[in-house]
């Protein structure tokens, strides 16, 4: 693996870890009593309104848990890329993780639209998570493109 890609994978590991931390807080808030989040600034900027809405679950599972799972998979995969665990399958792993993060980004964009236009409230931690998954997708896509160009 090239040193440039190694540093990019390390950055991806850090982003995935940040995503895990943010989603752990969101999981905690999902199960907490209402009005306990410190990010309840107003009626519009209110994590509890978003995190307690009917849109905060998917098939009965809090979306924060799904997000945590997504970030955990990305963390393990990128950690393995840093240390060469998947050397034989690195192209496949990178392709899968780029697609996986793209799916996470699409789902997050859907939830952002719901926040703004359906719920009418915004969660700062949800937005932070959405920026993290966007950054992860863009980073992995850039690595994927660079690797694809190198193989041609």
Please write the tens of the pLDDT for every residue from 31-61. Answer: 877 666 777 778 788 888 888 889 988 999 9
Give me the pLDDT at residue 1, please.
46
Give the list of residues 6+ apart from residue 10 with CB closer than 8 angstroms, or none. 82
pLDDT greater than 50 at residue 87? yes
Residue 58: strand pairing partners: 61
CATH homologous superfamily of 3-151 equals VKOR domain (1.20.1440.130)
- Is the pLDDT higher at 3 or at 116? 116
Looking at residues 113-128, what average pLDDT do you find? 92
Looking at residues 104-119, what average pLDDT do you find? 94
pLDDT greater than 80 at residue 85? no
Q: What is the pTM of this model?
A: 0.88
Give me the pLDDT at residue 3, please.
58
| Per-residue CA distances from 86 to 2, 11, 42, 80 (Å) | 14, 18, 47, 6
Please write the tens of the pLDDT for every residue from 19-30. Answer: 999 999 999 988
Percent of all residues in the chain with a pLDDT value above 90, rounded to a whole number: 57
């Amino acid at each position: 693996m090239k040193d440039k890609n190694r540093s990019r994978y390390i950055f991806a590991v850090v982003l995935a870890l940040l995503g895990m931390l943010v989603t752990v807080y969101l999981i905690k808030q999902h199960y907490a009593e209402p009005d306990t989040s410190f990010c309840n600034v107003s009626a519009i900027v209110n994590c509890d309104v978003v995190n307690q809405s009917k849109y905060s679950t998917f098939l009965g599972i809090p979306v924060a848990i799904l997000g945590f799972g997504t970030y955990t998979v990305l963390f393990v995969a990128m950690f393995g890329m840093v240390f060469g665990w998947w050397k034989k399958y690195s192209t496949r792993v990178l392709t899968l993780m780029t697609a996986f993060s793209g799916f996470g980004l699409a789902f997050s964009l859907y939830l952002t639209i719901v926040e703004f236009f359906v719920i009418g409230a915004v969660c700062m931690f949800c937005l932070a998570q959405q920026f993290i998954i966007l950054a992860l997708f863009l980073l992995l896509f850039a690595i994927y493109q660079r690797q694809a160009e190198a193989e041609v």
